[in-house]
Structures are given as structure tokens and as C-alpha cells.
Amino acid sequence: MKSFRSNWRSSSAGLHLTGLLLWTAIGVAIRFTGLDTKPPWTDEFATLVFSLGHSFETVPLDQAISLETLLQPLQLRPQATVQDVVQQLLTADVHPPLYFVLAHLWMHWFSPTTGLVSIAVARSLPALLGVLTIPAMFGLGYLIERGQQRLLLSHTTAAFMAVAPYGVYLAQEARHYTLAMLWVIASLVCLVLAERYLRSHIPPPLWLCGAWIGVNGLGMATHYFFGLTLAAIALAFMGFALQQYRADRNPLLRSPWQRLYAVALGTGVTASIWAPIWLTVHQRDITQWIQSGDRFHVFALIKPLFQWFGTWLTMWMLLPVEASWLPLAVVSVVLMIAFFWAAIPTLWRGFQRERSHPDRGSAIRILGGFVVSAIALFFGITYGFGNDLTRGARYSFVYFPGVVALFGVGMTGLWQTPTRVARGVAIAILIMGLAGGLTVVNNLGYQKYYRPDRLVPLMQQSQEPILIATTHNTLVQVGEMMGLGWEWQRQKNSPDTAPQFLLVHQDEARCTVDCPATATLDRTLTTMPRPFQLWAVNFHAPVNPEGQACVANENHHRYVNGYDAYLYQCN
């Protein structure tokens, strides 16, 4: 009998390990597909430049420069050090340095010693970290469940993370979000464990408290918005504490809770290291894009709701809504809405089934409190302080693992329901998630904000030299031009046909009257050998080419995914 039980447990463990390896392999296949096929955009260029220890300030302004000069900050520099990376971040960016230091080491390990850095190499690090979130969520699911079905919850949670389109989107960005998500998952693991100890009136062990402080410190060293994760966890724990108080009077003064205060104090100390930088973040020009103007306008009040819903919906399903063929995009939207209305009520019943279970209901409720608290914080900051966090879908990384865990709970409940319909819905959710992941990989959803691959071919139709001009306010505009230069370089055109670039600095984001940028453009045009084409791309100042013998092309205006371009022929 003992031998039989031992063999059964061994075979069962092997089966579950095989399942985890399957979800991980699916995650690898999706996340590492086509890493170099989509053009990098401004934020990714910031990662590349700062991780290489370079600066955007080395790109000359107010003068025509070559393609080589524009892309110089993307050249590998073997002598660059970690200290260079940290210094550039602290002086020119708004992010903590942990991920950028890792990216610096990664790119130097896996890139050639000279030439432009590889975007595939740069994106492979977050893709790898994104793969690690799959077994991490398997572990979180295992801890949520205390009954016989804990491995079922582990598998549904890991499988959902493997295919979720939002997770794939963040994993294919050369940014720090997947590393931050790992810390979010680790902090949620600590949350679930601490809740279990405190619910049993047992002090959380010292190793757990120390690990929690360390994880929270690493999270803050990766992204400052991890602070929203910590705030949401604190609010969720306050709800749990209130429940404890009602059940057992005045529990917060007893010894089991005292170690939690130490965790809060230790986390506060590690977070306060970054306080001097936080005080300046709001003043940085590169954060102005999330600041609302008239936030009491009707449109400003409604827009964040739609933005949040769009992000939440695409966390778990996404079809080719950004396809260039309009009928396909329309059909995709209709199918997504139909699936939403069909699946959510059934999924909710599965979630309710699991939440009412005595073995796992408390952990599920505190995770639900975490997600609800995080969303409330987003709206509180958006409406209360005029900083619209819903504009950037990527910022929802702060609670996305919690959403994955709750969806895993719901699908576990469906799988245990003895009806084919319920199990069919659970399978359909995973299939829709897989379709969403493939949609992201093929750039038909969560497209890059800029598409130089669509604008550069239009420019290449010219038989004459080209000057691309833009107004410069922050490093964002340098990244926009780098996107065009990168695409030109990627297509391996002859250096003799490469365009020149002009970044005209102006202190205002936009200027309409008596703009120095206009005068600088006019002076530059007088020095250009004729004939040539002028492309004014995202040029936020008046363009008056007539005085320089330039006329608007018959196809004068082009707008291509983030690039607002006007074409002039100068003879």
C-alpha cells in the first residue's frame, strides 16, 4: 500500500510538473516570437540609451545632423559602466535604476562589442522575465488554495498568465514592467501567507517579514508606481484587520500584528530612499502627458472610465481591433463584446463558488480587496490630482497579477462545476487569451505608439535628398526621430540616400505665434543644397516654406501612427 501511494504521488507530481512546463513553453513561444519585427518607440529608446550609459543630450539641436549622429546614443560603448547608467537616470529620467542596470549588463553580455544595440536582445530580457511570471503565478495559485484543488488553481492561473494578451504586450516591450510584475507577485505571495498566519492568530515568521521588506524594496527600485501596489496591499489589509476586529476585539494591539508593523516600517524606510526624486518627478516635462487640463470637463470625466475598461478587457482577451483592414477590426470588436457578455456572468458564478469556500475564501477576498483598492487608487489620482493614470495601459502592471489570480479562481470554480457549459467557458477564456497573445505578437493589438515602418517607405519614394524637421521639447521628440532613423537603418538603405534630421528646440510643447523654431527652420533651409524634400514631422510651430522657395506637395499631409507629417518640395 505504501509503495502504491508513493508511486501515485510521484506520477501525480510528474504530471503537474509537465503541465507547468507546458504553460511555460507556451509562454516562451509567444513572448519570444518576432521580438525584432516591431519598430521600437520612444520609451524603448529611453531604455536603450540610458541602459547603455548614454544621454539624449548628445544629439545636437538647431542644426541639420546625419543619421549616424542621430543614432550615436544607441551605439554600444564597451567602456560604459553601471555608474554611468545610474548617473544618467538620476539626472535625465524619472525611473529608479534597478532594471536599467540589469539591462546594461544583459545587452553587453549578448550584444556584439560595436555597432547599434540589438532591439531583439533588449526585448529578450523583459520577455524572459515575463516567462518567469508564469511559474510565479503557479506558486501564488498554490498558496491561495488550501484544499484538494490547490493544484487545479495553480494550473488555471499559470495557464492564464501564459496567454494573457496584456502580459504578452508588456513582455515584448524593452521596458521594466515584467520585472516589476515579478515583485508584485512576490509581494502578493507574502500578503497571502501573512493573512493566513494572522487569521490563525500566529505571528508571521521573521523570514517572511524580512523577505517581504526586501521584495518591496526591490519593487520600489524597479518602478515608482510599485508604491501603488503597496498602497493597495495596505488598504486590503485594513479591510482584513477590520474583519478581525469584529470577530476578535482589539486584535491589532496583540503580538501577531506587531511584526506586520515592522514590515510596514521597513518598507517605508526602503521607499524613502527615493523621496528626493519623487518630489521632482511631477515637475519633469516628460511626465506632462498624463496631466489633465480641464479635468472637470464632461469628456475628461468620462474618458478615464473607457480607458480603464479597455485596459481591463484586453488583459484577458484581444482580437485584431487595430488591423488595417476595417472589416476585420469591426468583426473583432463585435466578437469581443459578444464574448464578454456571454462569459462574464458564468465566470462570476465560478468565482463566487470558490470565494464562499472555507479553505480559500479569505485569501480570495483579500486579493479581491487588493485589486479593487488598486483600481480605486487609479481613479482617485486621476480625478483627484489631475494625473490620468488610465491613459497608459502599461501602468496597470501594479495590479495585473491580482487580476490573473482572480480569473484563475473563477476558472477553477467553473472547472469544478459538473456541467459542460461551465467547463466550456473556462476553456474558451483560455483560447481567447491565446488568440489575444497572438494578436499582440502580430502587432494587430497593443500596437506600438509610433509606426515608422509605415512612414519611412513613403519617404523613400523620393529621388532627392530629404530633411526631416521636428520641434524638440523633451527627449520624447528625440525618440520619435530615432524611430525614423532606426527604420531607415534597418532597411539597409545606402548611406548616401539617408535623410538629414533637424531637431529645433522650443521651450513650449506647441507654439503658434512668433516662434523661434520657425526662424531656426528658415535659417537651416537657406543652407540646404537644392533641390530637396522637407518633411515637417510633429513640427509644433508654424512652417512658412514659401520664403525659402518650398511648396507644399500635392499629397501634402500624412498622418501615420504617431507621426503627423507635412511634405514640401524645395527647389
Taking all residues of the chain, what is their mean pLDDT, rounded to a whole number? 90
Percent of the chain whose predicted confidence (pLDDT) is above 90: 71
3-state DSSP of 433-465: HHHHHHHHHCCCCCCCCCCHHHHHHHHCCCCCC
Cell 504553460 belongs to residue: 23
pLDDT at 341 over 80: yes
Beta carbons of 318 and 336 less than 8 angstroms apart: yes
Beta carbons of 117 and 490 less than 8 angstroms apart: no
Amino acid identity of 224? Answer: Y
d(CA 466, CA 66): 11
What pLDDT score does 470 carry?
A: 97
Percent of the chain whose predicted confidence (pLDDT) is above 70: 92
Q: What is the pTM of this model?
A: 0.94
The string of pLDDT tens digits covering residues 362-402 is 899 999 999 999 999 999 999 988 888 998 899 999 999 99
Cell of 516: 523661434
Distances (CA, A) of 37 to 44, 121, 123, 457: 14, 12, 11, 16
pLDDT at 353 over 50: yes
Question: Residue 552 in 3-state DSSP?
Answer: strand
The string of pLDDT tens digits covering residues 97-132 is 999 999 999 999 998 777 899 999 999 999 999 999
What is the end-to-end Cα distance of the chain in Å, rounded? 93
Cell of 404: 490573473
d(CA 568, CA 549): 10
Cell of 263: 514590515
Residue 537 backbone phi and psi in degrees, to 5:
-110, 120
Burial of 38 (0-12, 13-18, 19+ CB in 10 A): buried
Cell of 302: 468620462
Question: Residue 537 in 3-state DSSP?
Answer: strand
| CA 462 distance to own-chain centroid | 37
**Region 417-426 average pLDDT:** 90
Report the DSSP pairing between strands 466-472 and 500-505.
parallel
Work out the pLDDT band at 4, boundaries 50, 70, 90: very low
d(CA 235, CA 324): 43
Residue 351 backbone phi and psi in degrees, to 5:
-65, -45
